[in-house]
């Protein structure tokens, strides 16, 4: 009994020490480095969202089962401050399986020193717990240009089946209207599969394209980055979507 209690005590001490340590915050990644926005109203490195400007993406690591942890940092234009979204994406299903929001306004008047690094450190226990629970291993991530070349095979990714329609505001009429539907496909050796489909009758999207990819360090699985430029209420905005693609499965 004493041995079991001692083991539990040691485990708790080690866990607390691990959480007390500072997080190793990944480097910023520019997802537009290979494909600058088509619409010149979008400033480079200053990507507008509905609520602010999101210019910082960080990749924290992968699991052996295709999950990837990443974070975004958004300057909140209307209410002020910065919002961090820490997410874990299952690249097999393309679903977010964990999300944690850090709002700088929650720390005003506390001992927060005003830096982004400090916001991450104040939430290090939640982040470390989530990464451990989902099997995420911290590792540097390299954002790479397409096409993908692996083991003698070349993988081509395309945006196809684009369907445009005019809308009441006249957005993108010069291009045939807004994009309501499109598919993203992967092709290799004469075989193809669809890895992402967009379908939004209320869309305000004018341009959709692929900007690059990340490669899992554990399996033949890539995370493809898709950009959409769309009209907001006052200006042109840009958002990124991630789509997983196993390079050995599903091609027909």
Predicted confidence at residue 53, as pLDDT, reads 61
Domain that holds residue 156: 148-246
> Of the given ranges (67-71, 91-95, 112-116, 158-162), which has the lowest mean pLDDT?
112-116
The model's pLDDT over 29-42, given as tens digits with 9 standing for 90+, comes to 989 889 877 765 55
Q: Which of 138, 156, 180 is the last residue of a domain?
A: 138
Classify each residue of 155-194 as buried b or exposed e, where b means 16 or more C-beta atoms within 10 Å of its C-beta. bebebeeeebeebeeebbeeeebbbbbbbbbbbbeeebee
Q: pTM to 2 decimals?
A: 0.84
Q: What is the DSSP letter of 168?
A: T
The model's pLDDT over 132-189, given as tens digits with 9 standing for 90+, comes to 999 999 999 999 999 999 999 999 999 999 999 887 777 788 788 889 999 999 999 9
Phi, psi of 93 (to 5 degrees): -105, -10
Q: Does some domain include residue 12?
A: no
User: Distance between CA 93 and CA 90 in Å, rounded?
Assistant: 6
Provide the domain count of the chain: 2
User: Distance between CA 161 and CA 13 in Å, rounded?
Assistant: 56
Are residues 127 and 152 both part of a single domain? no
Q: Which of 138, 170, 198 is the last residue of a domain?
A: 138
């Amino acid at each position: 009994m004493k041995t079991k209690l001692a083991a539990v005590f040691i485990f708790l001490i080690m866990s607390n020490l691990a959480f007390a340590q500072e997080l190793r915050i990944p480097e910023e990644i520019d997802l537009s480095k290979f494909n600058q926005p088509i619409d010149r109203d979008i400033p480079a490195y200053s990507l507008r969202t509905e609520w602010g400007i999101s210019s910082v993406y960080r990749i924290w690591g992968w699991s052996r089962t295709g999950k990837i942890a990443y974070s975004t940092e958004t300057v909140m234009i209307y209410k002020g401050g910065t919002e961090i979204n820490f997410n874990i994406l299952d690249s097999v299903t393309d679903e977010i399986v964990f999300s944690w929001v850090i709002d700088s306004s929650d720390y005003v008047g506390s001992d927060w020193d005003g830096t982004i690094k400090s916001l991450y450190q104040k939430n290090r226990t939640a982040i470390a717990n989530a990464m451990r629970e989902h099997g995420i291993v911290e590792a540097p991530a390299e954002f790479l240009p397409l096409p993908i070349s692996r083991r003698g095979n070349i993988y081509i990714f395309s945006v196809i089946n684009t369907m445009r329609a005019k809308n009441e505001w006249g957005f993108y009429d010069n291009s045939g209207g807004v994009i309501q539907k499109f598919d993203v496909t992967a092709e290799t050796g004469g075989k193809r599969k669809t890895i992402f489909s967009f379908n939004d009758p209320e869309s305000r999207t004018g341009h959709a394209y692929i900007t690059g990819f990340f490669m899992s360090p554990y399996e033949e699985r890539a995370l493809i980055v898709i950009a959409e430029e769309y009209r907001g209420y006052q200006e042109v905005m840009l958002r990124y979507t991630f789509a997983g693609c196993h390079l050995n499965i599903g091609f027909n």
